[in-house]
Amino acid sequence: MLAKANRLTTADDYRSVVRRGVKVAGAHTVSYLRSREVGADARFGFIVSKKVGTAVRRNLVRRRLKAACSDLVREGITGVDLVVRALPSASEAEWAALRAEVVRAASDRRVTRGSRVSDAAPGGHHA
């Protein structure tokens, strides 16, 4: 689904995005978005804890999130790192709802190079 170039693979990568990225909360996910150099491959990571459900449910949620991110790669997203943390309600969420949350998080306009949140973002909240 996602090429290696489009995956966050180290704990340091995850930590960096979660700590320094812009937080985007949805009904079923909390996403963290951080800009990268212009034109760099977009990279994605997923956090699906046992609170989401059994291994079967967690894997289903993870596959759906990966598919949504795969769609974004095909649509040409670049220059961002995105970590998506599934909330317990994600196990019952429809595919369309999960995809919509990922797309909304990936298109968040508060992300700027070198800062956590743009000062110009109305109503922006810090991660």
Per-residue pLDDT of the chain (127 residues; tens, 9 = 90+): 789 999 999 999 999 999 999 999 999 999 999 998 888 899 999 999 999 999 999 999 999 999 999 999 999 999 899 999 999 999 999 999 999 999 999 988 776 544 333 333 334 443 3
Does some domain include residue 118?
A: no
Does some domain include residue 97?
A: yes
Does some domain include residue 113?
A: no
Does some domain include residue 1?
A: no
Does some domain include residue 72?
A: yes
**Three-state SS annotation for 34-80:** EECCCCCECEEEEECCHHHCCHHHHHHHHHHHHHHHHHHHHCCCECE
Cβ(35)–Cβ(79) below 8 Å: yes
Does some domain include residue 91?
A: yes
Give the chain's domain count: 1
Does some domain include residue 114?
A: no
Cβ(121)–Cβ(112) below 8 Å: no
Domain that holds residue 34: 25-106
Q: In this predicted structure, what is the pLDDT of residue 121? A: 37
Does some domain include residue 100?
A: yes
* CATH code of 88's domain: 3.30.230.10
